[in-house]
Amino acid sequence: MSRPRIAIPLDANVSGRYEQPRAYADAVARAGGLPLPIPFADPSLAAEYLAACDGLLVAGGGFDIPPERYGEPRRPGCGPSRPGRTAFEEAMIEGALAAAMPVLGVCGGMQLLSVVRGGTLHQHLPDDLGVSHEQPPPKDVPSHAVDVSPGTLLERLVGPGTLTVNSTHHQAVRLPGRGVAVTGRAPDGVIESIELEGATFALGVQWHPEVLAAHDPRHLAVVAGLVRAAGERR
């Protein structure tokens, strides 16, 4: 049987070249999936891209969701936005959820998963909560724990108790969107994982399991859960 096809929308650099860290594709392939890089384009193309895929992985990136998208003015700590990529990924998420397609949001992808459902964000954690979640290099090692809520999809994937994760973000979910359950928090209270109620597989994680997956099976299990759910949907 062929591998489940996992869409991974790409980023674009300042020179206009599409790109994405290869760790995403490597983790999907290691988990048994077929990574399909998708160039972000007109949001009206999202449905056609999704028709060629079995699951969706929305990656993070060096930009912030426009705060106007969740009804707030931009504050000084908010970073640059990429409205074109955000609009395309929003259309991909909405289309995938409507089609009961498995979705995994990583870092900024988790934040967008909540915003799509009407959630809001901390625009800059040092300003809003007085905490920093930007660990110094190296970025591929854990730096803090996450308390995993019992009885959740995340717990079924990684096991009970705490999970140690890396941390490379300055924003986070503030108020979860409609039907968005918080399933993991850092010791300082920052939301680290969410799930969409009623969905077979709609998970967001604030850390980067694709980076840690190469040497920690619990993090590979997060990506493997997406691949497995995508295969079962076919």
Predicted pLDDT at 225: 98
Which CA distances in Å does 141 have to 26, 138, 178, 205, 211? 17, 6, 33, 16, 8
Q: Which amino acid is at 8?
A: I
pLDDT-based confidence at 15, cuts 50/70/90?
A: confident
pLDDT in tens, 16-30: 899 999 999 999 999
pLDDT in tens, 85-118: 999 999 999 999 999 999 999 999 999 999 999 9
* DSSP classification of residue 170: S
Has residue 1 got a pLDDT over 80? no
CATH superfamily name and code, 5-233:
Class I glutamine amidotransferase (GATase) domain (3.40.50.880)
pLDDT (mean) for 56-81: 96
Predicted pLDDT at 120: 98
pLDDT-based confidence at 43, cuts 50/70/90?
A: very high
Has residue 84 got a pLDDT over 90? yes
Residues ≥6 apart with Cβ < 8 Å to 183 = 148, 149, 152, 153, 154, 155, 193, 194, 195
Residues ≥6 apart with Cβ < 8 Å to 224 = 31, 32, 157
Predicted pLDDT at 16: 86
pLDDT in tens, 143-201: 999 999 999 999 999 999 999 999 999 999 999 999 999 999 999 999 999 999 999 99
pLDDT in tens, 62-73: 999 999 999 999
Active site residue ranges: 107, 208, 210
